[in-house]
Structure 1
Amino acid sequence: MSGVFFEVFWVFHPLVPLRIPRKMPKTLLHKLSRLAILKAKPQVKPYLLSDGGRLFLRVQPDGAKLWRWKYEFAGKNKTMALGTWPEVTEKEARAAHAAGRELLRKGVDPMRERRMAKAQARLQASETFESVAKAWIASQKSHWSENYLDKIERRLKKNAYPWIGQRSIGEISTHEYVTEVIHRARDRGVADTARRVRETCNCVFRHAVETGIIKVSENPALDPKVGGVRTPSVKHYAAITEPEALGQLIRAIRSYKGTPIVRAALQFTPLVFQRPGQVRAAEWDQFDLKRGLWICRPP
């Protein structure tokens, strides 16, 4: 009995606050039902049906029902169109609304973000892999020799342009890049060529990222080793390391009965330790005979 009295006293004593459970507040979002949208009839003037969170369905006099979101950014009131119902369903409109509110929370204007996304899409559509590759080459060729420039251009023309050259660079997937370019070169049995093709194409994609044409996440060559092409094992050229064998080579060159130009080149090469291509591409204006000096340039 005393226990019952204590409980009654504890509940009703004026010094003890009553613990009355609060009702959960009704959500301020997603107010509109599908039935309410269907029943909304056109009137002489447009009117708004609120879905909460300043998301509205604007009912036009012609019966069109337009999703509109009113928000404030940098002290200015703005209205963002989110599409027409039923092409844009309640679920889709609310998802766009939630995404926009998240941008606002981060201090980003949703309308400006959407304009930038549309401009980005138009830029990607107009920029093909070939056009980006040529822009990359134009930005780099002042640092390259003519021979290296020719190699880069021929490599792209043979291995990349026929397959992805006219594709929008923003639409090229990693799978397409690997199968159409890297593996196609690899399957010809030229692993080193496939590796070099990959390196060149990776530079093109990186240029697209650096110039804002595509995002880093849209780069199909995000992994620089994409395609699984292995670097071939290095095989060094045969070289004479024994003095006796070197002497035999010198004597063989001296007794060579070929043309004077080839004979002179063979005799000249051991004196300067240059590759045959370097000797073959040498020009007279590179030599200072009085000083015994050869200022050689890359072939």
Structure 2
Amino acid sequence: MSAHTPLAILLDLSEENRLTSDDFTCALSAARVRATKPGTTPTKCADGGGLTLYIPPTGAKVWRYRYRLGGKEQILTVGAYPDVSLEHARIAHRAARWLVARGIHPLSYAEQEARRRAEEAQAFDEHTFRAIAEKWQQATATNLAPRTVEHRRAMLDKHVMQTIGAKSIGSITRKELHSMLTELDQVSPVTARHCRGYIRQIFEYAEDAELVDANPTPRARVLVNATKRSEVPRKALPLNHLGEFLKTLDDAPETDPTTKAALRLLVLTWCRTSEVIGALGRVRPGDRDVGHPS
């Protein structure tokens, strides 16, 4: 049942206000409702307090609530039987009577509440962590290589979105981020460090947009394994070994030709890795072999 239907709204209202009893004796039973058959003219089976099971000659059974408000008689259709059981019809009826006693038309209340819930749901969808992360991606992708953008998107999808992606960004706490990141730190410290950095930036973006009051991202030191990890610089290749390296690279039978070309470009041009990858992506069939001019 949709949370935006009049029936659902009346059921919720009855529960919220603990409307559990009637000031009259109910006349119907589940067995009688089930057994009553249509006649040649409309049949009306009163339960009490204005609640009636209406059965036209076609056989469809409908719950109706007849009431007076502002000096005029009104009829509220509660729902069709058996989709709406006798028990649920009575619960909704109590909520409708409660509203009428306060001078409120039940259907008008239900329509207004349905609009409010729809607007609230839309706002929630627009302010989930996933939605804000996507806006952050778009806002910060301009000066990044497409490969970098896709890499961070894939990392967030795999390690973060499953846990907090569907949550409203304003409801996410430091405690749950701490739990998620420290668990990731146990199995993949480097990934945990990157994810924490992305999460911090996303919350900074949300903070600037006044969607959150503060950034709940835990401090870097909570990632114990990532903090202890140290990068060991690799030794530079001596210049007098460069020729031997290139010959060994050429003779490596299992190395992909594209990888060989990329390594030659890196050595001979001192380009960035991302620039070499981009250049190789633009090589067309028939172009000369990279690194081997003829």
The TM tier, using the shorter chain, reads 0.3 to 0.5
Structure of greater Rg: 1
TM-score by length of 2: 0.45
- Higher relative contact order (Cα pairs below 8 Å, separated by 6+ residues): 2
